[in-house]
Amino acid sequence: MKIVACIKRVPATETQAKIAANGKGLEPAGVEYMLSFYDEIAVEEAIRTKERVGSGEVIVLTLGPAEARKELVECLAKGADRAILLVDPAWSSRDSLSTAKLLAAKIGELAPDLVFTGRVATDTDSAAVGPMLATLLGRGCVTDVVKLTIEGGGKLKAERESEAGIEMYELALPALITCQKGLNEPRYAGLKGIMAAKKKPVEEVAVQDVPNQIAVETAQLPPARKEGRIVGTGAAAVPALLEALRKEAQVV
């Protein structure tokens, strides 16, 4: 089975945000990067699926800066077979549709049976590229998947976590799955994997420019919350708290 896992290099969770001088995005100086949390789950599911099926290839694909090679190599160390880096100087300002179009063009060439993406990238927080990709590629897609079963005859069963509960879907290959926490426990790369990764190919491809539709007018830090106060200590503070919630905040 040929499997593609899409990943994204994103600012680390602990990043202290500063606004860039142009006022339209995050100041990149001093930002540390990491593999987006849910993409780790996507890569893990890709590797597990290959292991379960018993044969095939796992290709990790990203659109990003040349530096995203680091995150790709991490995925190779975990067990992916090869990596493709769509080198895009404009990666950090891409909107969901132009990102999906560029990834879809490459995935169209690769023609994998299964594509995994994370539920959401933890920088843009859009959760859009996965279902957009599936739509552009004309593939069946289930989002927020917490359990995936590959059945005979190219059939899949996917369980989706929704507000209503767990929704069970059936679909056929070729398909795209967006991965929710709970689908698996991502493995750590062992020393052997890290050594093996050095010999695995990372192909760099320059992307053609696809224009963005979304134009950022301003980027701002959120307004500071009005300073709060400690209403008291221990159970004795309960009446003061309720008084404040009732009279000042008017929420109860």
Partner 1 sequence: MLTIAVYVEHASGSVRRASLEALGAAAATGHEVVAILAGDGAEGAASGCAGAARAVCIAGSLASPDALARATADAARQIGARAFVASATSTGKDLAPRVAALLGSALLADCTALSATGDVLRATRPTLAGKVLIQATSSGPVFCATLRRNVFGAASGAGPAGISKAAGVNDFKAMLQSIASKTGSKLDVSEAPIVVAGGRGMKGPEHFALLEELAAAFGSAAVGASRAVVDAGWRPHGEQVGQTGKTVAPQLYVAVGISGAIQHLAGMKTSKVIVAINKDPEAPIFKHADYGIVGDAFEVLPVLTQAVKALRAQ
Residues 185-214 that bind partner 1 (CB under 8 A): 212-214
Does the footprint of partner 1 cover residue 245 (CB under 8 A)?
Answer: yes
Q: Are 139 and 176 in contact (CB under 8 A)?
A: yes
Shortest spacing between CB 211 and partner 1, in angstroms: 8
Q: Show contacts with partner 1 in window 210-239 (CB under 8 A).
A: 212-222, 225-226, 228-235, 237-239
Does 252 bind partner 1 (CB under 8 A)? Our answer is yes
Select the residue interacting with partner 1 from 53, 172, 195, 203 (CB under 8 A). 172
| E strand or H helix that includes residue 104 | helix 96-110
**Containing H/E element for 37?**
helix 37-53
CB contact burial 152-181 (16+ within 10 A = b; e otherwise): eeeebebbbbeeeeeeebebeebbbbbbbe
| CA-based R_g, the chain, Å | 21
Rounded to an integer, what distance in angstroms lies between the CA atom of residue 196 and that of residue 194? 6
66 or 214: whose CB is closer to partner 1? 214
Nearest to partner 1 of 97, 194 (CB atom): 97
Rounded to a whole number of angstroms, the minimum distance from the CB of residue 62 to partner 1 is 18
Residues 10-29 that bind partner 1 (CB under 8 A): 11, 13-15, 17, 19, 25-26
Positions 61 through 120 that interact with partner 1 (CB under 8 A)? 95-98, 100
Residues forming a β-bridge with 178: 117
Which residue, chain included where needed, has tokens 């100041």?
27
Among 151, 155, 162, 195, which residue interacts with partner 1 (rule: CB under 8 A)? 162
Q: 45 or 197: whose CB is closer to partner 1?
A: 45
Buried/exposed code over 55-74 (b: 16+ C-beta within 10 A; e: otherwise):
ebebbbbbbbbeebbebbbb
Among 86, 158, 179, 197, binds partner 1 (CB under 8 A): 158
Give, as ranges, the residues between 119 and 148 that touch partner 1 (CB under 8 A).
Answer: 122-132, 134-136, 138-144, 146
Look up residue 149 and give its two tokens.
């079963």
User: Which residue from 28, 182, 190, 201 is in contact with partner 1, where contact means CB under 8 A?
Assistant: 182
d(CA 181, CA 119): 8
Q: Least separation, in Å, of the C-beta of 186 and partner 1?
A: 12
DSSP 3-state of 210: coil
Residue of 161, 184, 200, 207 interacting with partner 1 (CB under 8 A): 161
Pairing verdict, β 140-150 and 155-162: antiparallel
Residue 37 interacts with partner 1 (CB under 8 A)? Answer: yes
